[in-house]
Structure 1
Amino acid sequence: MDAYAPRPALSRRKEDCVSEHSRVAAPPKIANTLPVEEASEGCTMKQERISQTALKVANSLVSLSAVDDWAQRLPAGLVEMSERLLVASGSPGYGQRLMELSKGPWMIRAWRFQDLMIPGQFEGFGHRKIYVQQQVEAAIENGARQVLFVGAGFDTLCLRLAPQLPHVQFIEVDHPATSAAKANGIERVGKPENMIQIAADLGERQLSQMLSEDGHWDTSVSSVLIAEGLLQYLADEEVRGLFVEAAACTSPGSRIVFTHANPGYSKWVTFLTSLIAERWKSSVASEDLPEYVEGTGWAIISDVDNDLAHGAERYAVAERR
């Protein structure tokens, strides 16, 4: 993995971060928030295995771009960068030939077939990407100077926005196996100077500890965090613990953009995710989110999401109090 350009040390020390953590709430212990089979763009995975869900989500967007007007609706450059990154990463099976086939009728039919089991999932990935990028850009317009993507998988948001926003620090955190494959691809497509990848197992180190040890994160700066396609792979107490950890190392006014499973999702979700050892563990109704995050240092600021187009997931934004 590339060496990162040095930046000034943290404006607040790790001890300060932990101290504020204790003032936010008494959290459940989250040393195993993301078990050794860590979550990456919403998936748990084995220790040395690249996240298959992360690869699948990135590839699904390539297919989606060939449907109706989705090529125009998706964020600018997302499809092209997803293709380039997947091929450049050298991930088995994700070569140029697959990228070409992904836009063909047979692949699109395969995705549509999955929609019979998990309604809305195919186009839901597109809606999710649009929402997350819009909210991140809004936070930056409101003064955020750091973006932290937890479980980034093969998402390209940081890779695309970093060159456009040199005054913003972009940091991705992911399991070492997935992070290494992605770093291999980023090396080939071009790594922005203001983008950092942290390869870390959050089952072994808490988020606050990991950020302090890396040295690029400034706890005094307004920030926006992303937990996209991640929380449903954590138990309820682990989700709460992650929010408390995030609050411990962010300043008031910072935001977290996240997605969560909607209760009552198809039984096929449980069946299919169990087959690949990536089982969903939690869900919460959008209207229950204010109570769900109460006491973690965050407050929900987004509207209730009951949009069926979002498939089995719902989207939200919380602000650091």
Structure 2
Amino acid sequence: MKNIQPSRTAQSVAAHYLLLSYDPNFGKLVPKEAIQPLNWFLSELSGAARASLYLYRIPLLRSYFRWVEQKILPGFSLHIALRKHWIESQVKEAIHSGTGQVVVLGAGFDTLAYRLHKTYPNVNFIELDHIATQQIKLKALERHANMQGNLYLTSADFTQHSLTEILRFMPAFQAELPTIYIAEGLLMYLPEVDVLSMFRQLSTLHKQTCQVVGTAIEPQNNGELTIRGTGKTKIDPSNLGEPLLWGTRSVDLPAFLTICDFQTVFTKYTQDLLSETIPELHDNYSLPKEEYLFIAR
């Protein structure tokens, strides 16, 4: 990601997520409370991301964008929505079980921390992201929102500073609290050594319950890290200046994380989530298989 520009991947994810909110079958996967913040964030951007706010209001153009998506990367918007829906359910379950702190790593333009910090005023919500992306988000929230004292947005560059360094310099962070970390769409952009280091730091930093809910990339048979979905088109994020650097097969993830003292791993694919969430439509859609979700404790 270029230092002076917000993440293009974050912009794309937000735009796709907003597009799905209009869908008659799947729009319910996008919380109504998320739509207004998405509009705030995208309105602070320029180019196609900002234009999508106005273009999506035209039914014919929405149909066109969905058609383009099906040609390039079928099911991507639905994949994003199911991913976020499941992660939010895991965060809420953790909070109801006693988790007192939620840390979102590489938050992008996600709305979860902003929405939940008012619902759970006794829980710390901390977002970490690159300054170029975080400044856009903070500007939008300061302009439109009423943020409470338990929401903290902090700029961070995981390639320049360790997670431990970043968190220990944050007065709001409390290592003694049971904590859940969200690493959605982040780890694949870090070198393997940094992924290992991040998990090792978390196992050292927390003496009480710590868990990570996130996503990882399944390498192709030839070891290539890419997203093909069900179509012939290959999506290469390096063209956006954000190359994929790490991935591991879901069956190998438990062994990978065991060396970092994370003992329990649960993995899930969005195709499975579709079957569980909207079973009557499961057979009609095929979702990208390269990215899966996990919980590590």
Instruction: Answer yes or no: same fold by TM over 0.5.
Output: yes
User: Using a 3 Å threshold, how does the CA distance of structure 1 residues 111 and 293 change in structure 2: closer, same or farther?
Assistant: farther
| Structure 1 stretches of at least 4 aligned residues deviating more than 4 Å after TM superposition | 94-97, 267-270
Q: Which amino acid aligns with 1:116?
A: K
Alignment partners' CA distance in 2, 1:260 and 1:177: 24
Q: Which residue of 2 aligns with 1:172?
A: 127
User: Using a 3 Å threshold, how does the CA distance of structure 1 residues 149 and 85 change in structure 2: closer, same or farther?
Assistant: same
Residue among 234, 256, 265 paired with 2:212: 256
By how many angstroms is 1:280 displaced? 1.2
Contact 1:228 1:257 in 2 (8 A): yes
By how many angstroms is 1:167 displaced? 0.3
Alignment partners' CA distance in 1, 2:270 and 2:46: 37
Asked if residue 59 in structure 1 is aligned to residue 15 in structure 2, the reply is yes
Q: Which residue of 2 aligns with 1:273?
A: 237
Identity over aligned pairs, percent: 26
Quote the RMSD (CA, aligned, Å): 2.2
* SS, match of residue 78 in structure 2: helix
By how many angstroms is 1:202 displaced? 2.1
Q: Which residue of 1 aligns with 2:94?
A: 139
User: Using a 3 Å threshold, how does the CA distance of structure 1 residues 300 and 76 change in structure 2: closer, same or farther?
Assistant: farther
Asked if residue 316 in structure 1 is aligned to residue 294 in structure 2, the reply is yes
Asked if residue 83 in structure 1 is aligned to residue 39 in structure 2, the reply is yes
Q: Which residue of 1 aligns with 2:55?
A: 101
By how many angstroms is 1:188 displaced? 1.6
User: Using a 3 Å threshold, how does the CA distance of structure 1 residues 77 and 229 change in structure 2: closer, same or farther?
Assistant: same
Contact 1:150 1:225 in 2 (8 A): yes
Q: Which amino acid aligns with 2:136?
A: A
Contact 2:126 2:153 in 1 (8 A): yes
User: Using a 3 Å threshold, how does the CA distance of structure 1 residues 262 and 176 change in structure 2: closer, same or farther?
Assistant: same
User: Using a 3 Å threshold, how does the CA distance of structure 1 residues 237 and 120 change in structure 2: closer, same or farther?
Assistant: farther
By how many angstroms is 1:181 displaced? 0.9
Asked if residue 282 in structure 1 is aligned to residue 246 in structure 2, the reply is yes
Alignment partners' CA distance in 2, 1:244 and 1:98: 40
Alignment partners' CA distance in 2, 1:222 and 1:132: 17
By how many angstroms is 1:111 displaced? 4.3
User: Using a 3 Å threshold, how does the CA distance of structure 1 residues 193 and 74 change in structure 2: closer, same or farther?
Assistant: same
Farther-moved stretch of structure 1 (220-229 vs 57-66): 57-66
By how many angstroms is 1:306 displaced? 7.5
Contact 1:86 1:94 in 2 (8 A): no
Alignment partners' CA distance in 1, 2:27 and 2:213: 24
Contact 2:41 2:136 in 1 (8 A): no
By how many angstroms is 1:286 displaced? 1.7
By how many angstroms is 1:144 displaced? 0.6
Q: Which residue of 2 aligns with 1:292?
A: 256
By how many angstroms is 1:185 displaced? 0.3
Q: Which residue of 2 aligns with 1:150?
A: 105
Alignment partners' CA distance in 1, 2:11 and 2:179: 27
Alignment partners' CA distance in 1, 2:74 and 2:247: 17
Residue among 233, 238, 257 paired with 2:189: 233
Stretches of structure 2 lacking an aligned partner (at least 5 in a row)? 221-226, 272-285
User: Using a 3 Å threshold, how does the CA distance of structure 1 residues 238 and 112 change in structure 2: closer, same or farther?
Assistant: farther
By how many angstroms is 1:163 displaced? 0.7
Contact 1:115 1:122 in 2 (8 A): no
Query: After superposition, what is the alpha-carbon deviation per residue over 1:177-218, rounded to whole angstroms, capped at 9, x for unaligned?
Result: 111111100102222221001112222211101111122111
Alignment partners' CA distance in 1, 2:181 and 2:11: 21
By how many angstroms is 1:169 displaced? 0.5
Asked if residue 194 in structure 1 is aligned to residue 150 in structure 2, the reply is yes
Q: Provide the aligned length of Structure 1 versus Structure 2.
A: 272
* SS, match of residue 136 in structure 1: helix
Q: Which residue of 2 aligns with 1:209?
A: 165
Alignment partners' CA distance in 1, 2:135 and 2:3: 12
By how many angstroms is 1:91 displaced? 1.6
* SS, match of residue 219 in structure 1: coil
Q: Which residue of 2 aligns with 1:24?
A: none
Q: Which amino acid aligns with 1:302?
A: F
Alignment partners' CA distance in 1, 2:2 and 2:195: 20
Contact 1:75 1:129 in 2 (8 A): no
Contact 2:19 2:77 in 1 (8 A): no
Query: After superposition, what is the alpha-carbon deviation per residue over 1:28-87, rounded to whole angstroms, capped at 9, x for unaligned?
Result: xxxxxxxxxxxxxxxxx1111111111111111111111232222223412232113322
User: Using a 3 Å threshold, how does the CA distance of structure 1 residues 229 and 112 change in structure 2: closer, same or farther?
Assistant: farther
Query: After superposition, what is the alpha-carbon deviation per residue over 1:75-102, rounded to whole angstroms, capped at 9, x for unaligned?
Result: 3412232113322xx2223787631312
State the TM-score, normalized to the length of structure 2.
Answer: 0.84
* SS, match of residue 126 in structure 2: strand
